[in-house]
Amino acid sequence: MLKDRFGRTIDYMRVSITDRCNLRCAYCMPDGIAPAPAEALLTGGEIAFVCRQAASLGIDRFKLTGGEPLVRPDCAKLVAALKGIGGVRQVTLTTNGVLLRARLDELLDAGLDAVNVSLDTTDRAQYRAITGVDALEAVMASIRAAAGRLPVKINCVAQDGVNADAPLSLAALARELPVDVRFIEMMPVGAGKRRKTVPNADILATIERAYGRTVPDDRAHGNGPAVYRRAEGFLGGIGFISAVSGGFCRDCNRLRLMSTGELKPCLCYADAIPLRDILRGAEGDRERRVREKIIQAVRSKPEAHCFEHPDVVTEDREMARIGG
Ligand code: SAM
Ligand code: SF4
CB of 323 within 8 A of CB of 14?
yes
Q: Which residue has the higher pLDDT, 250 or 133?
A: 133
Q: Is 29 in the pocket of ligand 2 (CB under 6 A)?
A: yes
Q: Indicate if the pLDDT at residue 163 is higher than 90.
A: no
Whether pTM > 0.85 for this model: the answer is yes
Question: Which residue ranges form the domains of the chain, and what is each CATH number?
Answer: 12-322 (3.20.20.70)
> How confident is the model over 169-224, as pLDDT tens digits?
999 999 999 999 999 988 887 778 788 888 888 999 999 999 999 999 877 666 67
Tens of pLDDT, residues 285-298: 999 999 999 999 99
- Choosing from 28, 159, 317 the residue with most ligand 2 atoms within 8 A of its CB, the one to mutate for a pocket test is 28
Q: What is the average pLDDT score of the chain?
A: 91
What's the rounded Cα separation, in Å, for the pair 81 and 10?
21
Q: What pLDDT shows up at residue 197?
A: 82
Instruction: Grade residue 247 by pLDDT with cuts at 50, 70 and 90.
Output: low
Closest CA to 230 of 213, 254, 246: 213
pLDDT at 251 over 90: no
Q: For position 190, what pLDDT does the model report?
A: 78
Cα of 282 vs centre of ligand 2, distance in Å, is 35
Please, which pLDDT band fits residue 16 given cuts at 50, 70 and 90?
very high
- Residue among 15, 70, 98, 131 whose CB has most ligand 2 atoms within 8 A, to mutate: 131
Residue 118, H or E segment: strand 114-118
Q: Is 156 in the pocket of ligand 2 (CB under 6 A)?
A: no
Ligand 2 near 23 CB (within 6 A) = yes
